[in-house]
Amino acid sequence: MAKEFRVYNSMTQQKEIFKANVPGKVGMYVCGVTSYDYSHLGHARAAVNFDILYRYLQHLGYEVTYVRNFTDVDDKIIKRANEIGEDPLKLSNRFCEEYIVDMNDLQCLIPTHQPRVSDHMEQIKDMITQIINKGYAYEVDGDVFYAVEKFPSYGCLSGQKLEHNRAGERVAVDSRKRHPADFALWKSAKPGEPSWDSPWGPGRPGWHIECSAMSAQYLTFKFDIHGGGIDLIFPHHENEIAQSCAACEESKISYWMHNGHVTNNNEKMSKSLGNFFTIRQITERYHPLALRHFLISSHYKSPLNYTVSQLESSSDAIYYIYQTLQDCESALSSSQEIGSEQNKKGPRVSEAAMNCVKKMREEFEEKMSDDLQTPVVLTGAFQEALKYVNSSLKMLKKLQKKQLLELMESLTAVEKEVKEVLNVLGLLSPSTYTEVLQQFKDKALKRAGLVEDDVLRLIEERTQARINKDFPKSDKIRADLTVKGIALMDVGNETVWRPCIPSEPQEQRAPMVEEKTSNSSSESKS
């Protein structure tokens, strides 16, 4: 943990050197999803970016307790359940499980704890009781409200001032409130809704209290990092601070971190605009690694604009990485017999390879330790390392035994460092390189509306056209396939194919996916 790690703290609005409350250990809480539908790209971005943070903290040597919650009791869940005639808790449980599937596809590590609201009612009620006893909340007709005027620091995270809060913008004005900005800690039971017994009568928690209670349960009132989407700063995280400080005067979160929105062709994704995609809709046609690459191709705090061309570029970039790794693995494997003959001292890694590894490692550590600059890590020295591998592979057949052994050692060293970078970024698949490449090819065929036999038949037609010197036909077959994202490559006397970025102008292409799940989006809540 010698490397100085700097993170942007939303509370102070500046980068700060990260210092853990307990040396060597980190407590991190990230707001998860409200589970009543399939998760969308906004959820994916939050999950992937905080997964990167989780991985990098572990890379730095920290023991991390990572908590990411599920909101499985909420107005939207109840509304959806009533619409389709399903028990609210069963519905939310189903979509919690679907979210876990999506996270696995995106190679997000499993958090240390994934608490659900329905399993923490006692902790929630205990915290509400503490808040009432300390004079920060009041009960009216079975509802409990937090009295924001009792907390002078309200607005410390968002900059929102009480006098600037306009009632009725987010929820209907409740005349029983002492101040329009007061928010519900407990909601009295209504007919047809799930409820739990409490000192204030049957009911269920308000949205904000759940995260205060569950973060305190797993991390205590003092922990290192609280994360979530930028849309959660107000009111959710602002209200969390107010609640937690009311329940415990020593409550303190050291660093607040927030990821930016995902937009679609520069418009914020929303149901009303019809520009909204679920994770499943993307991964039906693009490899999850391509989606993950896209999600970290912009700095986590910046807005991320989704376009099909961006996703195509990410798909092409990952395919290139895995093709390079497979070619390297294949070459090293075929040269293994020669390598087994080397003496105990063995050949040394070349100076060029050592410089390549050193530059890649230093750039990786420097950029990741500067508030997780993932877009830079994916370029620069990392790309130079891939170029080194490819240029070295071209030299293999021309080298004498001693030189060959040195090159093998050099390639092994560079490949190892490339894999380490990919692992921290969550881009290293548990599948073999060959399996991953085939998965990418299968997705490319699906997007092109073809099966592999179609491509092989066209390759044969093109080969015959070239034999007949019918070059216009040969060129047309190749061009038509390139339009569909299939590239033909002549290797010696053989023609092979691989996915590529389609040559057709973006605006002329059909929409990437059609809306196939429910027509209501799952919002990024707690």
> Smallest Cα–Cα separation from 323: which of 105, 500, 108?
500
Q: What is the pLDDT of residue 168?
A: 38
Percent of the chain with pLDDT over 70: 90
Choice among 73-87, 180-194, 371-385, 393-407 with the minimum mean pLDDT: 393-407
Could you tell me whether strands 494-499 and 304-306 are parallel, antiparallel, or unpaired per DSSP bridges? unpaired
Residue 380 region, left (φ>0) first, then alpha (ψ -120 to 50), else beta? left
Structure tokens at 99: 């979210």
Q: What is the pLDDT of residue 165?
A: 55
Choice among 20-24, 297-301, 363-367, 514-518 with the minimum mean pLDDT: 514-518
For residue 229, the Cα-to-chain-centroid distance in whole angstroms is 11
DSSP 230: G
Can you tell me the distance from the alpha carbon of 421 to that of 238, in angstroms, rounded to the nearest whole number?
36
Can you tell me the distance from the alpha carbon of 4 to that of 126, in angstroms, rounded to the nearest whole number?
39
pTM over 0.75: yes
3-state DSSP helix/strand/coil % of the chain, to nearest 5: 50, 15, 35
Can you tell me the distance from the alpha carbon of 350 to that of 402, in angstroms, rounded to the nearest whole number?
12
Residue 233 has φ and ψ, to the nearest 5°, of: -55, -45
Asked if 107 and 431 touch (Cβ cutoff 8 Å), the reply is no
Can you tell me the distance from the alpha carbon of 281 to that of 515, in angstroms, rounded to the nearest whole number?
8
Q: What is the pLDDT of residue 507?
A: 42
Any residues with CB less than 8 A from the CB of 58 and at least 6 apart, and which?
A: 64
Q: With 60 as the cut, is the pLDDT of residue 291 above it?
A: yes
DSSP 74: -
Any residues with CB less than 8 A from the CB of 278 and at least 6 apart, and which?
A: 37, 38, 39, 40, 41, 517
Each residue's pLDDT tens digit, 441-490: 999 999 999 999 999 999 999 999 999 999 999 999 999 999 999 999 99
Q: What is the pLDDT of residue 385?
A: 98
> Smallest Cα–Cα separation from 368: which of 63, 54, 23, 12?
54
Task: Please state which of the four CATH numbers 3.40.50.620, 3.40.50.10610, 1.10.645.10, 3.55.40.20 is assigned to the domain occupying 6-284.
Answer: 3.40.50.620
Domain boundaries, the chain: 6-284, 326-337+347-433, 449-499
At 193, the amino acid letter reads E
Each residue's pLDDT tens digit, 199-247: 999 999 999 999 999 999 999 999 999 999 999 999 999 999 999 999 9
Torsion sign (Cα): 242, 245, 247, 253 = positive
Could you tell me whether strands 486-491 and 494-499 are parallel, antiparallel, or unpaired per DSSP bridges? antiparallel
Can you tell me the distance from the alpha carbon of 309 to that of 154, in angstroms, rounded to the nearest whole number?
43
Q: What average pLDDT does this structure show over 29-40?
A: 96
What is the H or E stretch that residue 309 is in? Answer: helix 308-334
Alpha helices in 85-196 (DSSP H): 88-105, 121-133
Asked if 236 and 212 touch (Cβ cutoff 8 Å), the reply is no
Each residue's pLDDT tens digit, 194-211: 999 999 999 999 999 999
For residue 485, the Cα-to-chain-centroid distance in whole angstroms is 26
- State the DSSP string of 76-108: HHHHHHHHHT--HHHHHHHHHHHHHHHHHHTTP
State the Cα angle at 269 between 264 and 271, rounded to 5°.
135
Structure tokens at 470: 């019918």
Q: What is the pLDDT of residue 135?
A: 98
Q: What is the pLDDT of residue 340?
A: 52
Alpha helices in 335-470 (DSSP H): 336-340, 351-368, 374-377, 380-395, 401-424, 433-448, 452-467
Q: What is the pLDDT of residue 276?
A: 75
> Smallest Cα–Cα separation from 299: which of 226, 225, 372?
372
Q: Which residues of 342-365 are buried (b: 16+ CB within 10 A; e: fewer)?
A: eeeeebebbeebeebbebbeebbb
Q: With 90 as the cut, is the pLDDT of residue 125 above it?
A: yes
For residue 340, the Cα-to-chain-centroid distance in whole angstroms is 42
